[in-house]
Protein backbone atom coordinates (compact mmCIF):
# COMPACT_ATOMS: atom_id res chain seq x y z
CA UNK A 1 0.00 0.00 0.00
CA UNK A 2 2.83 2.35 0.85
CA UNK A 3 4.47 1.71 -2.51
CA UNK A 4 1.32 2.69 -4.37
CA UNK A 5 1.03 6.02 -2.60
CA UNK A 6 4.71 6.75 -3.34
CA UNK A 7 4.12 5.83 -7.00
CA UNK A 8 1.03 8.07 -7.28
CA UNK A 9 2.81 10.97 -5.56
CA UNK A 10 5.77 10.68 -7.94
CA UNK A 11 3.43 10.56 -10.95
CA UNK A 12 1.59 13.68 -9.76
CA UNK A 13 4.88 15.57 -9.33
CA UNK A 14 5.94 14.60 -12.87
CA UNK A 15 2.64 15.78 -14.35
CA UNK A 16 2.78 19.05 -12.44
CA UNK A 17 6.35 19.69 -13.62
CA UNK A 18 5.38 18.97 -17.24
CA UNK A 19 2.53 21.52 -17.22
CA UNK A 20 4.70 24.20 -15.58
CA UNK A 21 7.48 23.71 -18.12
CA UNK A 22 4.99 23.81 -21.02
CA UNK A 23 3.49 27.07 -19.75
CA UNK A 24 6.96 28.59 -19.35
CA UNK A 25 7.80 27.69 -22.98
CA UNK A 26 4.88 29.77 -24.26
CA UNK A 27 6.36 33.23 -24.21
CA UNK A 28 4.04 35.92 -25.42
CA UNK A 29 5.12 39.15 -27.02
CA UNK A 30 4.65 42.51 -25.36
CA UNK A 31 1.10 43.86 -25.23
CA UNK A 32 0.75 47.02 -27.37
CA UNK A 33 -0.04 50.19 -25.45
CA UNK A 34 -1.84 53.03 -27.20
CA UNK A 35 -1.53 56.59 -25.96
CA UNK A 36 -3.53 59.75 -26.63
CA UNK A 37 -0.84 60.78 -29.12
CA UNK A 38 -1.47 57.59 -31.14
CA UNK A 39 -5.22 58.26 -31.20
CA UNK A 40 -4.71 61.90 -32.23
CA UNK A 41 -2.47 60.78 -35.08
CA UNK A 42 -5.17 58.48 -36.59
CA UNK A 43 -8.26 60.59 -35.79
CA UNK A 44 -8.00 62.42 -39.13
CA UNK A 45 -8.79 59.08 -40.87
CA UNK A 46 -11.80 58.35 -38.68
CA UNK A 47 -14.22 58.35 -41.62
CA UNK A 48 -12.45 55.35 -43.18
CA UNK A 49 -13.61 53.10 -40.34
CA UNK A 50 -17.29 53.45 -41.24
CA UNK A 51 -18.17 55.59 -38.25
CA UNK A 52 -19.74 58.30 -40.42
CA UNK A 53 -21.73 55.94 -42.68
CA UNK A 54 -25.54 56.00 -42.63
CA UNK A 55 -27.63 52.81 -42.39
CA UNK A 56 -29.89 51.90 -45.29
CA UNK A 57 -33.56 52.83 -44.93
CA UNK A 58 -35.68 50.10 -43.37
CA UNK A 59 -37.90 48.06 -45.68
CA UNK A 60 -41.55 47.54 -44.80
CA UNK A 61 -41.86 44.28 -42.87
CA UNK A 62 -45.40 43.35 -43.84
CA UNK A 63 -47.56 43.81 -46.85
CA UNK A 64 -50.98 45.06 -45.95
CA UNK A 65 -54.13 43.57 -47.40
CA UNK A 66 -54.67 46.75 -49.39
CA UNK A 67 -51.18 46.55 -50.92
CA UNK A 68 -51.66 42.89 -51.81
CA UNK A 69 -55.12 43.59 -53.22
CA UNK A 70 -53.50 45.39 -56.15
CA UNK A 71 -52.89 42.00 -57.78
CA UNK A 72 -56.20 40.50 -56.56
CA UNK A 73 -54.48 38.24 -54.03
CA UNK A 74 -55.22 39.78 -50.66
CA UNK A 75 -55.93 38.21 -47.30
CA UNK A 76 -59.50 37.25 -48.18
CA UNK A 77 -58.32 35.40 -51.31
CA UNK A 78 -55.71 33.36 -49.44
CA UNK A 79 -58.08 32.55 -46.57
CA UNK A 80 -60.62 31.27 -49.12
CA UNK A 81 -57.92 29.21 -50.87
CA UNK A 82 -56.85 27.70 -47.52
CA UNK A 83 -60.46 26.74 -46.81
CA UNK A 84 -60.75 25.13 -50.25
CA UNK A 85 -57.59 23.14 -49.62
CA UNK A 86 -58.86 21.96 -46.23
CA UNK A 87 -62.15 20.87 -47.81
CA UNK A 88 -60.31 19.00 -50.58
CA UNK A 89 -57.92 17.26 -48.16
CA UNK A 90 -60.52 16.38 -45.49
CA UNK A 91 -61.71 13.12 -47.19
CA UNK A 92 -58.10 11.97 -47.40
CA UNK A 93 -57.61 12.70 -43.69
CA UNK A 94 -60.76 10.70 -42.87
CA UNK A 95 -59.52 7.77 -44.96
CA UNK A 96 -56.17 7.93 -43.17
CA UNK A 97 -57.91 7.89 -39.77
CA UNK A 98 -59.98 4.86 -40.81
CA UNK A 99 -56.87 3.08 -42.06
CA UNK A 100 -55.09 3.74 -38.75
CA UNK A 101 -58.03 2.18 -36.89
CA UNK A 102 -58.06 -0.85 -39.21
CA UNK A 103 -54.30 -1.31 -38.85
CA UNK A 104 -54.54 -1.06 -35.06
CA UNK A 105 -57.41 -3.56 -34.92
CA UNK A 106 -55.57 -6.00 -37.16
CA UNK A 107 -52.36 -5.69 -35.11
CA UNK A 108 -54.31 -6.38 -31.91
CA UNK A 109 -56.05 -9.45 -33.35
CA UNK A 110 -54.97 -12.73 -31.75
CA UNK A 111 -52.47 -14.77 -33.75
CA UNK A 112 -51.40 -11.86 -35.95
CA UNK A 113 -47.78 -10.80 -36.10
CA UNK A 114 -48.25 -7.03 -35.70
CA UNK A 115 -45.59 -5.81 -38.13
CA UNK A 116 -45.22 -8.66 -40.62
CA UNK A 117 -48.85 -9.48 -41.38
CA UNK A 118 -49.55 -8.85 -45.10
CA UNK A 119 -52.80 -6.98 -44.43
CA UNK A 120 -51.09 -4.76 -41.85
CA UNK A 121 -48.25 -3.99 -44.23
CA UNK A 122 -50.68 -3.25 -47.09
CA UNK A 123 -52.63 -0.89 -44.83
CA UNK A 124 -49.42 0.85 -43.77
CA UNK A 125 -48.46 1.35 -47.42
CA UNK A 126 -51.89 2.83 -48.23
CA UNK A 127 -51.60 5.08 -45.19
CA UNK A 128 -48.15 6.28 -46.27
CA UNK A 129 -49.51 7.09 -49.76
CA UNK A 130 -52.44 9.05 -48.32
CA UNK A 131 -50.20 11.00 -45.93
CA UNK A 132 -47.77 11.79 -48.75
CA UNK A 133 -50.67 13.01 -50.93
CA UNK A 134 -51.89 15.29 -48.12
CA UNK A 135 -48.39 16.65 -47.46
CA UNK A 136 -47.78 17.27 -51.15
CA UNK A 137 -51.03 19.20 -51.60
CA UNK A 138 -50.31 21.34 -48.53
CA UNK A 139 -46.70 21.96 -49.57
CA UNK A 140 -47.72 23.02 -53.08
CA UNK A 141 -50.30 25.43 -51.67
CA UNK A 142 -47.87 26.90 -49.12
CA UNK A 143 -45.18 27.35 -51.77
CA UNK A 144 -47.63 29.07 -54.13
CA UNK A 145 -48.75 31.38 -51.33
CA UNK A 146 -45.18 32.12 -50.26
CA UNK A 147 -44.18 33.07 -53.80
CA UNK A 148 -47.20 35.36 -54.09
CA UNK A 149 -46.25 37.13 -50.86
CA UNK A 150 -49.11 35.89 -48.69
CA UNK A 151 -48.51 36.18 -44.98
CA UNK A 152 -48.48 32.92 -42.99
CA UNK A 153 -51.41 34.04 -40.83
CA UNK A 154 -53.60 34.26 -43.91
CA UNK A 155 -53.24 30.53 -44.55
CA UNK A 156 -54.66 29.34 -41.23
Provide the number of structural domains found in the chain.
1
Residue 8 lies in a domain: no
Alpha carbons 52 and 40: distance in angstroms, whole number = 17
With 0-12 CB in 10 A as exposed, 13-18 as middle and 19+ as buried, what is 137?
Answer: middle
Alpha carbons 150 and 130: distance in angstroms, whole number = 27
Residue 37 lies in a domain: no
Residue 98 lies in a domain: yes
- Of 15 and 126, the structure prediction assigns the larger pLDDT to 126
Residue 85 lies in a domain: yes
Report field, pTM of the whole predicted structure over 0.75: no
Residue 38 lies in a domain: no
pLDDT one-digit tens code per residue, 92-105: 999 999 999 999 99
Residue 34 lies in a domain: no
pLDDT one-digit tens code per residue, 104-130: 999 998 988 877 899 999 999 999 999
Q: What percent of the chain has pLDDT over 70?
A: 76
Quick one: how far is CA 121 from the chain centroid? 33
Alpha carbons 151 and 141: distance in angstroms, whole number = 13
Residue 137 lies in a domain: yes
Residue 117 lies in a domain: yes
Q: Is 154 helix (H, G, I), strand (E, B) or coil?
A: helix
> Residue 81 sits in which domain range?
67-155
User: Crossing angle of helices 75-108/118-148, nearest 10°?
Assistant: 170
Q: Does position 66 have pLDDT exceeding 50, yes or no?
A: no
Amino acid sequence: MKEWSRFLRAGGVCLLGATVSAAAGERRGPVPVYTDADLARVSSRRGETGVESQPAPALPLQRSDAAAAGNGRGESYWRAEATRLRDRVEPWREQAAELRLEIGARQAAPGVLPYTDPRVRAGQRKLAVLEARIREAEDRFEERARRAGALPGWLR
